[in-house]
Structure 1
Amino acid sequence: MTNRERGTGPSLPLVGREALLRTLAAEADAVRTGQPRLIVLDGPAGVGKTSLLRAALDAGGPCDGMTVLYGSCRAIDSGNGYSGVRALFGPLGLTTTRRGRAPALLEGSARHALPALAPDRVDGDTAPGATYPALNGLYWLAANLMADRPLVLALDDVHWCDERSLRWLDFLLRRADGMPLLVALAQRTASERTAGPALTDLVAHHRHLALHVPALSARDVETLVRRTFPEAPPQPSFVDTLTAVTGGSPLELQRILHKLRTGGVSPDDTGVRRITELGGRVVAGSVHEALHGQPAGVREVARALAVLGPERTEHLAALAGVSAVQAEEAVDLLRRFALVQSDRSELVHDMVRAAILSTLGPTALADLRTRAAQLLSDVGRSPEQIAGQLLLLPRADQPWMTAVFLDAAAQAEQRGAPEAAARYLERVLEAGPDTPEIRMRLAGVLSETDPARSLALLHEALALADDVRTRATVAVRLALICLRVQRSPEGARVLTEALDALHTALGTDPEPADRELLTTAEATLLIVGADEKSTLPAVRERAALLTPPPGDTPAQRQQLAMLTVLTAMDGRSAAESVRQARRALRSPGTAPGAWSLLPASLALSLADETGEALDALETVLRDSRRTAAVWTYVLALSTRAFVHLDRGGVLQALADAQTALDLLEEERNWGEGAVQPQIACALALVERGEPGWAEEMLGTIKRPRIEDFAWEYHWYLMARARARYAHGDSESALELLRACGDSLARTGLANPVLAPWWLDAACLLAESGRFEEARAAADHGAGPAERWGTPRALGYAALARGVATPGPEGIAGLREAVRRLADSPARADHARALLLLGRALLADGAPGEAREHLRDAVALARRCGCVALARRAREELVGAGGRMREVTVSPLDMLTGTERTVAALVASGVTNREAAESLFVTVRTVELHLTSIYRKLGITRRAELAGALHEDTLLPPGLREGHTGPDATR
C-alpha cells in the first residue's frame, strides 16, 4: 500500500541520492527487525529534498514491501490541528463508512482517531478538548497498519507541520519499541517553524539520524552545465559564477540554465555576463518573466493557485474571476512554463508560490485571501479550512470572520487539537469586545497545555463579568484549574466569594437552572477546598450547613458524594456516610461521573463497604477505558490500590499502584503532582518485606508542599513511618506517626481508620515496653473508633488497648480485636491481631493456644501477600515450639505489580491486543510482560496461566471459579 504523489519539480541533486538510498536501506533493514527509526532530512530551499525523499520511497527501493504513507505539509494548513496526520492518512479513505461500519483499521481503540482524520467527525465517547484519546487512537491505527507489514511515515515540509501532528509522532515513537516503524521528516534549513517547540522536542527526545542535503558543489554544477550544453565545454568562470549566483540550488540552476539555453547563451564569458545580469533571484525572475505579458486571467489563475493550493478547476476559476474553460487553459499554460506540476494542479515549489504572490501588494493579497475564505465557505468547506486563510490576514475583525474562527475552534476542540483552537480564539479575542465569554472558552482550551495562561484569562474574565451567574460560572472553572495546578486555596477563595454573591442575589427559592448552578458551584467548592489543609476547615463548616440534596441531577450527586466523604473524614457516622454514598451512586437515567464515584468509593471503603467501593471504582475504570481518559484511569487505579490495602489485598494493591506508575512514566509531566500511586506502592512494599524499595519509591515523589495536602500527606507519613519501623528505626517511625497525628488534629480529621497513626504508635510503643505511652495513643483513637462503629474501627480500638495492657486484661482485648477484625474486610489487620494475640499468650504461659493463633496468622498473612508479617508470625511460632517451613517467595510472589495485572487479564481470556488497549500500553509491552511471567512461573503457554494463578488472590473470585464476567474481553 503506497500513498505518493509525483510531480515534475527540480532535478535530483547529483550528490546525496545514492548515499541517501544506501542509508535508508540500512535503516529499513533495522526497521524490519522491529527497531523503530527516525530520520530527519534537511537542506536549503530548492535543494531537492522532496525529490530525494520521493525517490527513496519509490517501489523497488529500500522501502519495498513496506506500507509507505507520504504527506506534505502546507503553510496554509499549519494552524489546522492534525493537518499533518491527515496528509499522511487521508488517501487511505478511512473517513468513509461502508455499510454503516468504519474500516477495519479503525476497530478497537483506533476508533478514537477518527476526529483527527475527519474535520466533521465526532468521537461520542470522549469529552471535547481531551487530547489523549486522539493520540492513543492514532497510535492504534498505526499499530493496525504495522500488523501486516512495516510502516513508513514520510512527512515533507515538516517546518510547516501543525503542533498536534508532531506531538502525535512523539507519542508514537515513545511507544514504538519493537515495532517495525520508520519515520522520515524533511524540513527546510533555517526556515521559520510553525510548531518550533514541538518539532524541537520531537527531535530532541528520540535518537535520530540527521541527513543534510547540501547545495551542489562547483563540480556538480559543471556536470549539469555539460548536460545542458553538450556541444560546448563550459568555462571555469561560467561554472564558478553560476555556482555563486544560485548558491548550488538545483531549482535555481534548472531555471537559469533553461533561460540561458533558450536565450542562445553559451557557457563562456558571454554567459558569465548574462548570469550576472540575472542576479540571485532566478526563480522569482523567471516566474515574473513567465507571467509578464500574459492575459490578466492567466495571472489571476496563478494567484488563485498560490492562495488555494490544489483545488477543483471551478473553484480556481471562481476566485480568479474567469470561466472554468479559461482556468483550465491557464493551468495548462502555467504547466508549460514549468510553474505547475505535470500531473495535478499544484505549483511546483513554494519558492514559485512566493514569487507569484510577491506580484501583489499587501492590501491586494489580503483581499484575495478574504475572497478565498468566502469561496471556501460558499462551497461548504470545513471551518478550519476557511480559518486557514483568515489566519494569514493582518486583521480578521469582520463579524463573519469571528463566526468562522468560533466554529473552527469548536471543531479543533472536538478533535483534541487545543493549540489550533487557541490560535483561532486568540484572533477572536484580538477583534472582539472585552467580554468574559471568549476568555472563558480560550481558558478552557488552554487548561491542559498552558494552565498558567488559562488562569490569567479566567481572572480577566472574572473582572469583566457583570452578573453573579457569569462570575460563578467563571469561578467554577478557575477553581478546577487551580486544583489541577495545586493552587487550591486561590481557587477556593475566588469560588467562595462568587458563591456567596450568587446566594445573596438568588435568594432562598431560585429557579431550577439557578439551583443547578448553585449546586455545581457548591460541589466544586467542596472538591477544591478539601484538597489542602488550609482550606479544609472552612469547607467542613460550609458543608455542615448544607442540606444533603436528593441526588437527582449530576451536580446534586457530585455534591452529595463530597458531603459523604467529608462526613466520613469527620468520623461522625459510618451508617450516614454509607447512606449518602449510595444515594450519590444512584443515577436515574445517566451514569454517575468520576467526581461522584471516586469520593463515594472512598467513603464506602472507610465504612467497611469495600465491595461497593470496588464496584464504583470498576465503573470509573471501565468508563475510562472506553473513553481513553487515561488520567482518570490512573486516579481510579490509585484509589483502588488503597481500597485493596484496606481489605488486605496487598498483591492487588501493588498491581494497581505499579500499573498507575507505569502509565505516569509514559506521559511526560504527568508524574510531577502524582502522590497516591507512590504511597500505595510503598505501603504494599513494606508489607511485602521490602522497606528499602518502599523508601526509594517515596523518594520519587516530586509534588512541592506535600505537607499542605489534606489526605495524601498523612498517608505519606504513615508509609514513611512503616518503612522506618521495618528498617528497625523505631524512634524515627514514632516521630513520623506523631507528626501525622498532630497534622490530622490541626486539620480536624477525626476518622479513626483514616491514617490510623494511633494504632501503629500503640503497637510500636508496646513492643518497646512503653505501655503508658501506648495506652495514651490507644485512648486517643478508641473514642473516635467507637463513634465510627465499624468492625474495623472497633477492632483497631480493641487491638490498640490490648497491646497497651499487659496481662489477662490485654489478652482479652486482643481476643476482642481478633473477633471484630474477623468480621471486617481488614484481613491483613486481622492477621496482625492474631500475631499479637499469639505473642501475648506466649508471654502469659499458654504456648499451645499461642501456636494455634500464630499458625492462623501465618496462613492469613500469606494469603494477603503480607510476607513480612507472615515471617514474623512464623518466627514466633517456631520460638514457641511449633513446626513450620520457611515462608519463602513463591513464583507468583516474584511477579511485579504490572505483571500481575497483565497476568490476570490474559488469564481471564483477553488477547494481548485487548490487554494492551485496556492498560493504555503497547502490545509489545504486554508481550514482554508475558515473557517474564512465563519464565517466572515456569510455564510455556497462556493456557497454563489461569491454572498457575488459580490459588492466588491475584484473580478476582469470579475468575478463580472459571467465570470471566461481562468485561473480560474489553
Structure 2
Amino acid sequence: MGVAVVGRDTLVDRARCCLDEGRPVLLEGPAGIGKTAVHRTLLDAAARDGWLVLACAPTEIEQSLPFAALADVLAPLADRAAQLSPPQRAALGGVLLTGEVTGPVDERAVGAATRAVLEAAVADTPRVLVAVDDAPWLDPPSERALRFALRRVVPRVAVLVTARSDRPRETPLGLDQGATGALLERVPLGPLGVGALHHVLRAETGATLPRPLLVRIAEDSGGNPLLAIELARAVLRLPQLPAPGADLPAAPSLRHLVAERLAALPPATRQAIRLAALSGGPTLSGLARAGVAPEDLDAAEEAGLVAVTGEEVTFAHPVYAAAVRGDVPPGVRRRLHRLLADTARDPDERARQLARCVDAPDAAAAAEIAAAAARQRALGAPEIAAGLYETAARLAPPEAAGEYARWRLAAAQCRYDSGDYPAARAAAERVAEELTGPARVEALLLRAVVGWSADEAAETIVATAERALAAAPAGSALAGRIHAHLSMFRDAPDPGRWHAERAVVLLAGSPEDGPVLAGALLLLLYHEVRAGLPVRAELLERALALEGEEPSWLAGTVPAILWKSFDEHGRARERLHRMLDRAVVRGDEPFQHELLCHLGETELLAGRWADAAAHLAAARELGEQYGADSAGVDWLEGLLFAHRGRLAEATRIAEDGLRRAAELDDAWRLRIHTQLAGYAALMAGRMPEAARHYGVLAAAMDGLGLVEPIAQRTEPDWLEACVGAGDLTTAEAVLERLAARHRRLPRPWATLALARSRVLLAGALGRDPSEALAELDAARAAVPADVLPLDRARCLLVAGLAYRRVRRRREARDALTAAAGEFEALGAAALAARARAEAERTGGRAAPRQLTGTELEVARLAAAGRTNRVIADTLFISPKTVEANLARVYRKLGVTSRAELGAAMARGAGADG
C-alpha cells in the first residue's frame, strides 16, 4: 500500500470487502483528507484482481460539458454499441462521439443504453466496478444517466464514489434511495494520526521532522494530510525550525485568505479576533474581561472564521488562528498579551501571556512562569514546560542565580522528556558551560543520558558521565546517581557491577533517590548474572519493593529481561505492558520505543510472531519519528525474517548491521548482528559461514567478560553449524560450554538445547543416539508446548534425523512430519520445508497431501476471487488464520499464486478421495 494511504489499511479492507459483495461504497470526508488517494488505491487493487474498472474523475470546469463524465465511464465499452437497438446505439454514439449526431441526444435513450452496456459487461465479466471520484462535480446529464442505470444494475455492478462531507448535499447518484440505499456503505475518512502523517510528510517533503514538531503539525492541520503537507513545507522554508511554543507558519495562500477576511471585518471584530487567537482557550467571559462584547464576534462568525458555542469560542480551523496571530504587528501583539495577562483568572493562562509580553528581568513574572512550567510538566506536557522554564530563566534577575540554574536544568530535562534529543543535547551542553557546582554536574549527567538514549558512541557517553563524577562531591547522593547511570552505560559486567555497588551504598541514605536506588539494585543483579554469578533474588525483591507501582526508568526493564531469559514470557509480557501503558500516559516516547523492542523480543521467543512483528513495526515507526537508532529493531526483525524463511532479507540486515558496527566501533551492535548473520547462514545451510560467525561472537563475549549473555542463546546453533561443517572438536567444546551455562542457570530453553545438541553430536560422532533421544523426549515432555514452540519443533527435527540415521524409518517419518506441522503452525517456512523434505527421504508412504476441511473451504473461496477479509468473514475465522491456511494450501498443491490455485481447484486438486 502506498504512502498516500498510510494509516487507512482497515478502511481500505472494509471498502474492498463491500465492493466484493456488490455493495455501493461512498467515501466521505473534507477536502484534502485523502479521499482520492484511497479511491485510486481501491481502483488499482480492483484492476489487479481482474475487475473491469469503469471510472471517471470529473472536475468543476467539466460540469458544463454534457456527458463528459459518462463518456469516460463508458469508453471501455464502446465496442458494445453495435449490439444495442438503433435508438440506444445512436444515443451512445452521441455520448462517446463515435457516431454522427444529427439531432438532440435523447437522455432517456442514453440512460437505457448505459444500463444495457453495463448488463452486457456483467454477462461477460463477472466483476464490474463503476467508480466516480468527486461525484458532486458530475455534469447533470451524466449524473442522470448513471443514476438511472445504477439503480437497476446494483448489486451485480459494484459502485465506488467519493464526495466531500463538508458541503452538505444529497447523496450522489441517489445511492441512498430504494434497494440501493439498503446496500450503501458510507465510509468516512477521519484525520490521520501522528504516525501516519510522519510517513506522508517524509514521502512528500523528503525530510524527517522532530517528533514534537510533528505533533504540532498534526494538531494544527487537524490530521488533514493536505494541510499537514502545506504546513510542513512552510516550516521547511524557514531558516530554522520554529522554537517550541512559536506559531507554525501558515501557507501563503492561507495567510492571504485570512488577511482578506480580516480586512473586511469591523475594527472591533478584528480586535476581538486577535484577542481570541492570542488566548490559550478563548471564552466569551474571558474575552469580555479584555473588553470584547459578544456582538463583536458576530461578523467573524458570519465570515466563517470562528464559531461561538455557549461560552466557547473556537476557530473554524487551528491554522486560521495561527494566520491571525501572524498578522498582528509585534508592538500590538505585546500590548494584547499584557491585556490578556492582566485579565486572566487561570494562573497558567496568565503565565503564558506574561511569557509573551515581559522582556526585562522580572522576579515576580519569572516565578509565576516557572510555577506554571512545573504544573505543565506534572500534567505530562514537557514541551510546553520547557519553553516556560526557558522564559522564566531569561526573566530571572541577577540575584536569583539559584532559580536560574534550576530552571535552566529543568528546561533541558523537559526537552529530553519530550523526545527532542537534539534540543536536549544543546541545552544540556549550554548549561554545563554556563554553570558551576552541582548544577554543572547535573547538566553533564543529563548530557550523558541524552547521548545514551540517542545511541551515541559508548566512549563519549561514559567519558561525559565520568566528567560529572569527577566534579561531584565525593560520597554524595549525587555521586551515587552518577554511579547508577554509569552502571547502565557500561557494557562489560565487571565495571557495571562495580558502579552499581557504589551506587547502592551512596544512595541507601537518600530517601528522595528511592527510584534511582531501585534501578541500581536491578543493575547490580543484571551485571552479576551476566558475570556468571548466582541469581540473588533478594536484590530483585528489594528493588521491586522500592519502586512500588512505578517501575524505575533506570533499569526498570531488567526484571522483564531476566524473566524472558528464564522463559517466563507471561510475567515479562505483563510487566512490559504495564510499563508501556504508563509511558504512553506520560507521553514518554523514547521509553515506549525501548519497551516495544523488549515486547517484540519476548513474543519472538514465545513463538507469537505476529505479535512480535506488530510491536517491532510500532517501535520502528516511533523511532523514525524522533530519530532513534534502529539497530535493535533491525536485529529483531532480521531474526523474525530468518525464522520465517526470508533469509535474503535477514542476511542483508545482518551485513548492514555489521558494516555499521565497524564504522562506529560498537561492540553491542557487533554482537547482535553477528548472531543474526550466523543464524541466517545456518537456516540457509551455509554451515562453515555460520560456524565462523558464532566463533567470532563467542570471542567477543569472552573478551568482554560476558559469562552469561542473557539475551543470546547461540550455543545450540553454533554446535549445529560446527557439526554441519565437520568441525566436531569445536562442537564438543561448544556442548560443554552450553552444559556449563545450564548448570549455572537452568532454564527451559537450555534444557531443550542441551538435549538437542547431544543428539546432533552423537549422530555426528557415530555413537548410539538412544540415550540422547530418550533425554530429548524427556526434555520435550518437561517443557510446555506453548513455552518454546520453535525450540520444541527443532528438537523433533533433530530426532527425526537421528532416527533415520539408525534406520528407524517409522519413528523418523513420524517425528519429521510432526516437526513440519509445528513449523508450519509457527510460520517457520524454511524449517518446515526442510522437515518435509527430510520426511520424504525416509521412504514409505508420503505424507498426505489432501487439504483439510478448512483448507479446502479457504482454497475454494480464494480461487473464486474472494479477498482474505471476505474469506475470514464468510468462514468466521481471522484474516491471519486465512493467511496461514492459504500458505499450507499453496505448499500442498505446489502453487504460488491465486491464478495457479484457481486452475488447481478446477482440476479437483486437494479434494478428499
**Shared fold by TM > 0.5?**
yes
Q: How far did 1:444 drift?
A: 1.7
- The residue aligned with 2:446 is 477
- The residue aligned with 2:490 is 529
Q: 2:365 aligns with which of 401, 404, 410?
A: 401
Q: How far did 1:637 drift?
A: 3.2
Structure 1 unmatched ranges of 5 or more? 1-25, 38-60, 67-109, 114-131, 140-160, 216-247, 256-282, 288-297, 336-340, 507-513, 895-930, 953-970
Please tell me the residue identity of whatever aligns with 1:871: A
- Contact 1:877–1:883 (Cα < 8 Å) also in 2: no
Please give the alpha-carbon distance, in whole angstroms, between the structure 2 residues aligned to 1:709 and 1:655: 29
1:727-749 CA deviation, whole Å, 9 max, x = no partner? 34333323322222222122222
Please give the alpha-carbon distance, in whole angstroms, between the structure 2 residues aligned to 1:711 and 1:892: 46
Q: After the TM superposition, which residues 432-511 of structure 1 pair with which residues of structure 2 at under 5 Å, given as runs?
A: 432=396, 433=398, 435-447=404-416, 448=418, 450-462=420-432, 466-468=436-438, 470=439, 473-487=442-456, 488-499=458-469, 504-506=474-476
Q: How far did 1:440 drift?
A: 0.9
Answer yes or no: is 1:785 the counterpart of 2:742: yes
- Contact 2:573–2:602 (Cα < 8 Å) also in 1: yes
Q: After the TM superposition, which residues 270-289 of structure 1 pair with which residues of structure 2 at under 5 Å, given as runs?
A: none
- The residue aligned with 1:616 is 575
Q: 1:65 aligns with which of 156, 164, 168?
A: 168
Name whichever of 184-193 and 544-553 sits farther off: 184-193
Q: 2:356 aligns with which of 391, 394, 408?
A: 391
Please give the alpha-carbon distance, in whole angstroms, between the structure 1 residues aligned to 2:326 and 2:567: 71
Q: After the TM superposition, which residues 243-282 of structure 1 pair with which residues of structure 2 at under 5 Å, given as runs?
A: none
Q: 1:841 aligns with which of 803, 807, 810?
A: 803
- The residue aligned with 1:803 is 760
- Contact 1:436–1:460 (Cα < 8 Å) also in 2: no
- The residue aligned with 2:842 is 880
Q: How far did 1:396 drift?
A: 2.4
- Contact 1:561–1:596 (Cα < 8 Å) also in 2: yes
Answer yes or no: is 1:376 the counterpart of 2:341: yes
- Contact 2:597–2:633 (Cα < 8 Å) also in 1: yes
Please tell me the residue identity of whatever aligns with 2:517: Q
- The residue aligned with 1:601 is 560
1:486-530 CA deviation, whole Å, 9 max, x = no partner? 134433333345446657344xxxxxxx4xx66654433322334
How many residues align structurally?
A: 662
2:872 match: secondary structure: coil
Please tell me the residue identity of whatever aligns with 2:638: A
Please give the alpha-carbon distance, in whole angstroms, between the structure 1 residues aligned to 2:322 and 2:409: 38
Q: After the TM superposition, which residues 57-456 of structure 1 pair with which residues of structure 2 at under 5 Å, given as runs?
A: 63-65=166-168, 165-169=216-220, 172-173=223-224, 369=334, 373=338, 376-377=341-342, 379-385=344-350, 387-388=352-353, 390-392=355-357, 395-410=359-374, 413=377, 420-432=384-396, 433=398, 435-447=404-416, 448=418, 450-456=420-426
Q: How far did 1:399 drift?
A: 1.3
- The residue aligned with 1:19 is none
Please give the alpha-carbon distance, in whole angstroms, between the structure 1 residues aligned to 2:328 and 2:583: 51
Please give the alpha-carbon distance, in whole angstroms, between the structure 2 residues aligned to 1:610 and 1:387: 47
Q: 1:454 to 1:850 in 2, by over 3 A?
A: same
- The residue aligned with 1:106 is none
Answer yes or no: is 1:682 the counterpart of 2:638: yes
- The residue aligned with 2:728 is 771
Please give the alpha-carbon distance, in whole angstroms, between the structure 1 residues aligned to 2:435 and 2:854: 60
Please give the alpha-carbon distance, in whole angstroms, between the structure 1 residues aligned to 2:775 and 2:678: 26
Please give the alpha-carbon distance, in whole angstroms, between the structure 2 residues aligned to 1:480 and 1:749: 24
Please give the alpha-carbon distance, in whole angstroms, between the structure 2 residues aligned to 1:629 and 1:250: 41
Answer yes or no: is 1:939 the counterpart of 2:868: no
- The residue aligned with 2:519 is 558
Q: 1:544 to 1:623 in 2, by over 3 A?
A: closer
Q: TM-score, normalised by structure 2?
A: 0.58
- The residue aligned with 2:82 is none
Q: How far did 1:844 drift?
A: 3.2
1:391 match: secondary structure: helix
- The residue aligned with 2:90 is none
Q: 1:657 aligns with which of 587, 594, 613?
A: 613
Please give the alpha-carbon distance, in whole angstroms, between the structure 2 residues aligned to 1:600 and 1:893: 42
Q: After the TM superposition, which residues 902-921 of structure 1 pair with which residues of structure 2 at under 5 Å, given as runs?
A: none
Please give the alpha-carbon distance, in whole angstroms, between the structure 2 residues aligned to 1:408 and 1:543: 36
- The residue aligned with 1:641 is 600
Please give the alpha-carbon distance, in whole angstroms, between the structure 2 residues aligned to 1:171 and 1:354: 19
Q: After the TM superposition, which residues 715-730 of structure 1 pair with which residues of structure 2 at under 5 Å, given as runs?
A: 715-730=672-687
1:322-342 CA deviation, whole Å, 9 max, x = no partner? xx9xx99xx99xx9xxxxx9x
Please give the alpha-carbon distance, in whole angstroms, between the structure 2 residues aligned to 1:846 and 1:423: 75
Q: After the TM superposition, which residues 560-579 of structure 1 pair with which residues of structure 2 at under 5 Å, given as runs?
A: 560-573=521-534, 575-576=535-536
Q: 1:520 to 1:214 in 2, by over 3 A?
A: closer
2:451 match: secondary structure: helix
| Matched-pair identity in % | 18
Q: 1:751 aligns with which of 705, 708, 732?
A: 708
2:700 match: secondary structure: helix
Please give the alpha-carbon distance, in whole angstroms, between the structure 2 residues aligned to 1:407 and 1:888: 73
Please give the alpha-carbon distance, in whole angstroms, between the structure 1 residues aligned to 2:658 and 2:627: 8
Which of the pair has the greater relative contact order for Cα pairs under 8 Å at 6+ separation? Answer: 1
Please give the alpha-carbon distance, in whole angstroms, between the structure 2 residues aligned to 1:789 and 1:189: 57
Please give the alpha-carbon distance, in whole angstroms, between the structure 1 residues aligned to 2:571 and 2:321: 64
1:504 match: secondary structure: coil
Structure 2 unmatched ranges of 5 or more? 1-27, 40-163, 170-189, 199-211, 301-305, 314-319, 857-865, 886-913
Name whichever of 701-710 and 476-485 sits farther off: 701-710
- Contact 2:579–2:595 (Cα < 8 Å) also in 1: yes
Answer yes or no: is 1:854 the counterpart of 2:844: no
Please tell me the residue identity of whatever aligns with 1:820: A
Q: 1:893 to 1:750 in 2, by over 3 A?
A: farther
Q: How far did 1:763 drift?
A: 0.7
- Contact 1:658–1:681 (Cα < 8 Å) also in 2: no
1:356-413 CA deviation, whole Å, 9 max, x = no partner? 98xxxx9xx69x95796377246425444554465355x3212123224324544554
Q: 1:353 to 1:213 in 2, by over 3 A?
A: closer
Q: How far did 1:484 drift?
A: 1.2
Q: 1:888 to 1:386 in 2, by over 3 A?
A: farther
Q: 1:692 aligns with which of 636, 648, 662?
A: 648
RMSD, aligned CA = 6.1
Q: How far did 1:316 drift?
A: 10
- Contact 2:235–2:242 (Cα < 8 Å) also in 1: no
2:345 match: secondary structure: coil
Q: How far did 1:193 drift?
A: 10
1:672-707 CA deviation, whole Å, 9 max, x = no partner? 512333322322222222212433555786995487
Q: 1:617 to 1:704 in 2, by over 3 A?
A: same
1:808 match: secondary structure: coil
